[in-house]
Amino acid sequence: MVQENLLQFYNCKILRNSKLNEEDLWVRNGKIIDPEKIFYDEKIQATERIDCQNAIISPGFIDLQINGGFGIDFSYNVDNVEEGINKVAKELLAHGVTSFCPTLVTSSAENYHNILPRIKKNKGGAHGATVLGVHVEGPFISTNKKGAHQEFHIKKFKNGFQSLLEIYGNLENISYITLAPEIDNSCEVISELCKRNIKVSVGHSTANLKQGEKAVKCGASFITHLFNAMLPFHHRDPGLVGLLTSDEIPKSKIIHYGIIADGIHTHPAALRIAHRTHPEGLVLVTDAISALGLQEGLHRLGQFDIEMRNGRAYIANTDTLCGSTTAMSQCVRYFKDATGCSIVHALEAATLHPARVIGIQSRKGVLDFGADADFVMLSDDLMVLSTWIAGNCVYSNSCTAISEDIVK
């Protein structure tokens, strides 16, 4: 008897166990399965065989920091929160992203109370990429490293963890929080967040290395967009950058760090330094803004007029850049070219590593048996050919995968 929903992907190279392996990928009921059970225990054949035409199959990309895209700004799209999330989730499929963390920048308590309850964790599918929970970036950050964040809304932990609850309200939909570890009472806050299984990232900060190490000992495990919005590396005190090689952190604990590989926010030499220093911790993030995916020309986004010129977003009538507009698939390619790293390392920086950051590596960011069948088919030059969630094709450029039904 033939089992329903049994898919065999063949003629492909699969990223598994940090290697590209020439073997078939088997999927049933949205999960990746062990073919040995099919051959020796169940003794059945595939419902459908899919010729991947020598494509690379990688776990789907995971973007842990994205502020919006395609005309949507998550922090200011107050009236149509759900509609905005759905639009971005759908558009991201074309870029190989199967899961993401919508990011909210420093805002008023009223804004958080309005938006946070409405960005719910949501399984992906043809409707769009999986929503893994919100990344809240601020308002507990340094005014000296605020970047584009509004200083008026930046806060301190005057009442410890209670201050955080007052600003955010319900924490249910939050996956991780970026804060500046030099702020008074931050260690208490970090410890309490970790007890609630909310990850903590350090960033937008003037912290020295010792303050960063203290935050890690309290439970922080991530660094938000390394090199950006933090003290520059100094040989007497390397600041948060020094966490990549600190001997105060147990060797059993990996400090991960986000990095924006768009050719604008981080110099190629800085990418190479970070990668060669601590490759296992590197996580590609886009930090994309609402201008991602927009056509060349003028656009009204929130309170600003934005001009797209040569694929970059500027405040209209100026030469001032206003954020990243680079998709994750582009970041992967740029990172590989800039660092000279292997295809495997480039892909794991957008899959396995971000999954580890938020603790979902048993089901996402990998193609292990039992994991979710969320993956992307890529050409040898890492162009997205098709995107799959739970074993279903949710995006295709019509150039891949020939399906062969063998059970009629």
Q: In Å, what is the CA distance from 374 to each residue of 117, 218, 331?
A: 26, 33, 19
User: Is 321 annotated among the ligand-binding residues?
Assistant: yes
Rounded CA-CA distance 117/194 in Å is 20
User: Is 322 annotated among the ligand-binding residues?
Assistant: yes
Rounded CA-CA distance 201/257 in Å is 9
CA angle 344, 345, 348 (to 5 degrees): 85
User: Is 137 annotated among the ligand-binding residues?
Assistant: yes
Strand partners, 300: 305
In sequence order, which residues have a C-beta less than 8 Å from that of residue 41 and are 6 or more positions away?
none
User: Is 323 annotated among the ligand-binding residues?
Assistant: yes
Contact 351, 61 (CB under 8 A): yes
Q: In Å, what is the CA distance from 154 to each residue of 9, 141, 173?
A: 50, 6, 21
User: Is 225 annotated among the ligand-binding residues?
Assistant: yes
User: Is 148 annotated among the ligand-binding residues?
Assistant: yes
Measured distance between the N- and C-terminal CA atoms of the chain, rounded to whole angstroms: 13
User: Is 204 annotated among the ligand-binding residues?
Assistant: yes
User: Is 265 annotated among the ligand-binding residues?
Assistant: yes
In sequence order, which residues have a C-beta less than 8 Å from that of residue 240 and are 6 or more positions away?
202, 203, 205, 207, 209, 212, 223, 226, 230, 231
Active site residues: 287
User: Is 307 annotated among the ligand-binding residues?
Assistant: no
Binding-site entries: 137, 148, 204, 225, 228-229, 236, 265, 321-323
Binding-site entries for Zn(2+): 137, 204, 225
Binding-site entries for substrate: 148, 228-229, 236, 265, 321-323
